[in-house]
Amino acid sequence: MPAPDTTTEPAVLMIDMGGVFFSYSFIRALEHWARLAGDDPQRLLDAWEIDDPFDAFERGEITPPAYLAHLRHRLGLTLTDRDMTDGWNAIYQGVDTRLTALLSSSLVRDSFRAVVGVSNTNALHAPFWRDLYREDLTVLDTVVCSHEIGTTKPRAAFFDHVAHLHHIPRTSLVLADDIASVTADAGRLGITSHHYTGADQLAAFLTTL
């Protein structure tokens, strides 16, 4: 293995997937399940929670059938795994085309050795959006998913995994994420971070590096 690069210059740009690269709305999942079950989306929303099994699913620690069984119980539904999965994957919307253009531009490609998509996701979501956005994903050199590496953003282990892949120190990573607490935590780990609000703002930020 090559020795780690000790430079602190920006080397790898990390782009969050959901909320940055593409948009999504979890309400669409609740509406899908409610329609199939003849239920009230608001009741499902009130019952929904990002809980320990959800976090474990994003770390790849439980299987899709096990998580769907938990979710069905939490929401009080009797839908099949297929119906639950269809709703789970009904959340996806459009890709930020201004961002994909930026990631292909000389501003990015002349400044970074790689552009990496990073995502807290799971074994049901990731295969779906990898296929849905397959043409758009070509602007990324690779994608790192939490359930495949056993840890989530903004844990140090997640970012260290990306750094190790490229033989660089963590301080040579740059992150664009739409969740302010994630960028704040990444900053405390020595990662140059940008709270993403749009491609134009990211471009302006990158010119300052």
Q: Is 103 exposed, middle or buried (0-12, 13-18, 19+ CB in 10 A)?
A: buried
| pLDDT surpasses 80 at 9 | no
Beta strands at 22-24 and 92-95: parallel, antiparallel or unpaired: antiparallel
Q: List domains and CATH numbers for the chain.
A: 12-23+95-206 (3.40.50.1000), 27-88 (1.10.150.240)
Question: Mean pLDDT across the stretch 118-130?
Answer: 98
At 8, the pLDDT band (50, 70, 90 cuts) reads: low
**Residues contacting 97, CB < 8 A, separation 6+:** none
pLDDT at 4: 41
The strand order across the sheet containing 173-177 reads: 142-145, 114-119, 12-16, 173-177, 192-195
| Contacts of 103 by beta carbon, 8 Å cutoff, 6+ apart | 13, 15, 115, 139, 140
Q: d(Cα 107, Cα 16) in Å, to the nearest integer?
A: 19
Span 199-208, pLDDT tens digits: 999 999 999 9
pLDDT band at 98 (very low <50, low <70, confident <90, very high): very high
Position 10 scores a pLDDT of 74
Q: Could you tell me if 159 and 182 are in contact, meaning their C-beta atoms sit under 8 angstroms apart?
A: no
pLDDT digits 0-9 by tens, 54-97: 999 999 999 999 999 999 999 999 999 999 999 999 999 999 99
Query: Mean of the per-residue pLDDT values for the chain?
Result: 95
- Tell me the per-residue pLDDT of 150-172, one tens digit each, with 9 for 90 and over: 999 999 999 999 999 999 999 99
